[in-house]
Chains A and B, each alone.
Chain A
Amino acid sequence: MKKTGPMRCRQMLAKLSSYIDEELDEATCCRLEAHLADCPPCVEFIKTLRKTVCLVHEAGKPRPVPARAHKDLQAKLKACAAQLQKRR
């Protein structure tokens, strides 16, 4: 039987990532939000989970490949191509 009442804190925890990624179906989302309406600590928990995702995203922002590493790779690729050519 499909659950319809508001969720408890424990049930909600399991759904949080899907909630912040907007992947929950409408019915589950409504139950979760009904719980949030009455549970300020869970609202705060969600805020900090969202912030966690932001911090990870910020920390992983793309940076260019170091020029030395790129140059080393080009030299290795040339050597590798020459070896493969010899085998053919």
Chain B
Amino acid sequence: MRAAPKGFRPIQKGTIAEMEGAERELIERSKAGDAEAFSSLVRAHEDKIFTLARSVCAGLPAEAEDVYQETFLTAFKKIATFRSDASLSTWLHRIAANLCFMRYRKKKAEPFVPLLDEPHKDGEGHRQFKDWRLTPEEAARKHELGAAVTKALASLPVEYRLVLTLRDIEELSNEETAKILGISVAAVKSRLHRGRLYLRDRFGELMGDEKP
């Protein structure tokens, strides 16, 4: 773990109320232009924001670092507009999601493969799905599997990558995800479902399913 620079007051572990109080104080000091106070806020939230950036900028670490830095720079410049009764985490996630969206919205090259109408065809012999529990051999291929997941994620349009990242990686609720992305809960559920089905199909090839 990095040591906190001199003069920094990191947010201490304590009750939720104490932590919220400490964060409010840091926000107010940041609003007054205190960069050190803002750095403490960066420390408290940077891992989550970097996880989001890394997943959405799948396989492009330099872009993920850009999004991470731009998120906090934008937040610092706009902290005066942050409403004190709002959640700082949600606000930071929204900034990061917008930056990802702006970065990838023009890249329409990724074809989004049409989804299945049915999980399997009746009659004419069912498609065989291999058991996807990791065998010891597959566990040894964990790194390879991770790279394949990154590649599959990268082939999804950014709107889907954002939803999958917030729901299945950061484990946020449908409501929190909708708030961050400025879309309805129904749209979150629909993108999550379609995105998962698409990835399931891609992983099927990887895990050795028979072709339909």
Contacts and interface: CB of A to CB of B under 8 A. Distances in A.
Interface in A14-50: 14, 16-18, 23, 41-42, 44-45, 47-49
A85 interface: yes
Nearest to A45: B119
Contacts of B132: 47-48, 51
Contacts of B33: 81, 84-85, 88
A7 to B, nearest CB: 11
B203 A51 contact: yes
B196 A49 contact: yes
Contacts, number: 140
Nearest to A10: B118
Q: Helix, strand, loop or mixed for chain A's interface?
A: helix
A59 B127 contact: no
B150 A18 contact: no
A10 B117 contact: yes
Interface size range of chain B in the complex:
35 or more
Contacts of A65: 46-47, 50, 68
Contacts of A73: 42, 68-69, 72-73
A44 B130 CA distance: 8
Contacts of B174: 23
B114 interface: no
B198 to A, nearest CB: 9
Interface in B125-140: 126-127, 129, 131-133
B129 A56 contact: no
A56 B145 contact: no
Nearest to A51: B132
B77 A58 contact: no
B54 interface: yes
Contact of B199 (A47, A52, A63, A64): A52
Contacts of B94: none
A57 interface: yes
A82 B45 CA distance: 23
A35 B46 CA distance: 45
Given A41-B120, A59-B150, A72-B69, A47 B131 contact: yes
A76 B169 CA distance: 29
A10 B119 CA distance: 7
Given A48-B204, A56-B149, 17 more contacts: A13-B117, A13-B118, A49-B197, A51-B207, A52-B203, A55-B145, A57-B169, A59-B145, A59-B149, A61-B169, A69-B65, A70-B2, A74-B42, A76-B73, A77-B73, A80-B77, A81-B76
18 contacts: A9-B122, A12-B119, A14-B193, A16-B119, A16-B197, A23-B174, A44-B129, A47-B131, A52-B196, A56-B168, A59-B149, A60-B168, A73-B69, A73-B72, A77-B42, A77-B73, A81-B33, A81-B34
